[in-house]
Amino acid sequence: LGLAKKIKKIGVVSGVCFGFIGNRMLQGYAREAGLCMMEGATPEQIDKAMFDFGMPMGPMAMGDMAGLDISYMIRQARSEEDYEANAFKVHDRLVEMDRKGQKTGAGFYKYEPGNRTPLPDETVTNIIEEEAKKAGFKRRSISDKEIVERCVLALINEGANILDEGIAVRSSDIDVVYVNGYGFPRYRGGPMQYADFLGLDKVLERISYYNKEHGSRWWTPSPLIKKQVKKKKVFKLEIEA
């Protein structure tokens, strides 16, 4: 931490796990965005919903900027038991078509030479519909509110698991990672502070709702959330060693 300060970086202590703090949580965020897309939302709607929430860009635009092939290669090296394959069927197909994002001129969006502005692409719309049909999804209208809620609750729940496992020592460490490294809106304080703002009882209620709607594989409430609700406490500075 002293070295980080000396080179004018923001350091956060993390235990060792797949993805550490930031990328481990990002898996759930990307998963819910991908599932919302398969269930009926468009990339443009998802990106606008998260932008309006306060993120600097939505998850599909972020993937295009970073390169869709990066997460593709990570998934190729992992077992499908470790992630939700249906959430990334479209991502994988785009990469296999050499649509890797901005660097190839096309990903979820198309890009004109010398211009990073994402442009909607009917080809992607067709791919989404094809992959959703193959995976057995019945597409429906999805609200912006549902998109934001699912993406953000996925961050919060995994953040709580990270705290519960001791990967992070304090909830504020997770918030520092997300505000400074992942673009979470500063005025919302970070995912864990935002959970405290919403009220952990409300967070637990909504995670439990999605557990009933989508099953327990990804929507099992963190034991720490249950514990804090029972004790009528919040995350911030309340976690006992």
What's the pLDDT tens digit per position in 133-181? 999 999 999 999 999 999 999 999 999 999 999 999 999 999 999 999 9
In the predicted structure, residue 208 carries a pLDDT above the cut 90: yes
3-class DSSP assignment, residue 227: helix
pTM, two decimals, is 0.95
pLDDT at 193: 96
Q: How confident is the model at residue 237 (pLDDT cuts 50, 70, 90)?
A: low
In the predicted structure, residue 241 carries a pLDDT above the cut 70: no
In the predicted structure, residue 240 carries a pLDDT above the cut 80: no
Measure the CA–CA gap between 43 and 45, rounded to whole angstroms: 6
Query: What's the whole-number mean pLDDT along residues 30-57?
Result: 98
Name the burial class of residue 158, with classes exposed (0-12), middle (13-18) and buried (19+) by CB atoms within 10 angstroms of its CB.
Answer: buried
